[in-house]
Amino acid sequence: MTSSISSRWDLRVDVDADDLTITRDVVVIGAGGHGMETADIVRTVADSSSAIRLAGVVDDGQPDRQLLARLGFRFLGRTADVLERDDIEFVIGIGDPGTRARLDAAAPERAAQPLIHPTATVGSFTSLGPGVVLAQGAVVTTNVRLGRHSHLNVGASVSHDCVVGDHVTICPGVRVTGGATIGDRAFIGTAASILPGVSIGADAVIGAGAVVNRDVPAASTVRGVPAR
């Protein structure tokens, strides 16, 4: 037997009395390109799991509502409409680490559980924080920690014994090799390589295609081969 509780968005919390499964509504904050990618991941995960359901997306800007409709994503309004509620979970589909940190701080208890695309792989002894998103083809090997609301984008990898902080963005094709440490809110650009044992400071920015072979101080920007 299934029961439903409606809300003003017509969202539901479904409870299956036979197996005690609870289906949770998840809203994506952000309706730009990264937000739509994130929403697609949520929907794909939901298709193979009764635990979550994509409720829709919110955005404070002027999203392309026609495109959202063609993609089958419901537009639900502004971000405040999510943050003021306590009956839904959210994932932040925004690439900027600082923005994700700010939104997370407004309602830290409502972060969705980690969202792992079916084509991503996760090894043993790995910890994924709330709100983590692993996109198509992402690889996390063994003994790795990813902090809250960190995003590992398409085809990126994080190897053994790495520690990735909160609200980190790891762009497509990045290679984070063994024993590296990445501080909170760092941004690692597309196809960059972080060599073994390197430490990236909080709020640092690594340029696309950079090869980082030495530690990077907090709040600094490096680029190039080798990165400087």
Q: Which of 34, 149, 151, 160 is catalytic?
A: 160
Give the helix ranges, DSSP H, for the chain. Answer: 33-47, 65-71, 80-83, 97-106
From residue 118, alpha-carbon distances to 44, 48, 122, 123, 149 in Å are 8, 9, 10, 14, 19
Q: Please name the residues in contact with 139: beta carbons below 8 A apart, sequence gap of 6 or more.
A: 120, 121, 156, 157, 158
User: Which amino acid type is present at position 16?
Assistant: D
Nearest to 72 by CA among 50, 90, 88, 53: 53
Q: How many CB atoms lie within 10 A of CB 32?
A: 16
Q: Taking the CA of residue 49 as centre, how many other CA atoms within 13 Å lie in the half-sphere pointing to its CB? A: 20
Asked if residue 120 lies in contact with residue 128, where contact means CB atoms within 8 angstroms, the answer is: no
- 167 is an active site residue: no
Q: Tell me how far apart the alpha carbons of residues 136 and 154 are, in angstroms, rounded to a whole number.
A: 5
Active site residues: 160
